[in-house]
Amino acid sequence: MNKEQLVESARKIMENAYIPYSKFPVGAALLLKDGTVINGVNVENVSFGATNCAERTAIFTAIAQGYKKGDFQAIAVAGATQDYLSPCSICRQVMVEFCSPEMPVYLTNEKEEILELTLKELVPYAFSTLDM
């Protein structure tokens, strides 16, 4: 699967976001090393701290399905934003826990442009097990 297909998967899944409060849909498509794609959406809650982001939904679903740290090949994040939609800090930390620093992260915007970064570029000073 190429990055355009992964981004399209993230864009399409946005329709399933549960966003009664913010009206801000986000979709994520997580590519596993075996070629499987697991999608995630943001799921809001009236208690905003209980809200889960699309990126974490995809990663946690992969873990629940038996995938392990190191099984992740790339992730795409899509939203209807003018600028590239970047993962929040909590999602970045979860990505650092499960993904390689060299894993591609594809950020998109409403113009369907794609910004490709590595996780290390997205989180240059990540808190990791090396810091424990």
Euclidean distance between CA atoms 99 and 68, whole angstroms: 10
pLDDT for the residue 128: 84
CB 123 within 8 A of CB 55: no
Question: Which entry of 4, 55, 102, 112 is annotated as an active-site residue?
Answer: 55
Number of domains in the chain: 1
| Structural domain for 63, as ranges | 3-131
Euclidean distance between CA atoms 76 and 115, whole angstroms: 10
Annotated binding site: 53, 88, 91
| 55 is annotated as an active-site residue | yes
Kindly write down the DSSP assignment for every residue of 2-43, as one continuous string: -HHHHHHHHHHHGGG-B-TTT---EEEEEEETTS-EEEEE-B
What CATH number is given to the structural domain containing 87? 3.40.140.10
Euclidean distance between CA atoms 106 and 121, whole angstroms: 12
pLDDT for the residue 73: 98
Q: How many residues appear in the chain?
A: 132
Q: Over the chain (132 residues), what is each successive 10-residue block's mean pLDDT?
A: 97 98 97 98 95 98 97 97 96 96 97 97 89 68
Q: How far is CA 113 from CA 74, 77, 97, in A?
A: 17, 12, 27
Angle between helices 54-64 and 89-98 (to 10 degrees): 30
Of 88, 71, 83, which is closest to residue 28 (Cα–Cα)?
88
pLDDT for the residue 132: 67
Annotated binding site for Zn(2+): 53, 88, 91
Euclidean distance between CA atoms 62 and 84, whole angstroms: 25
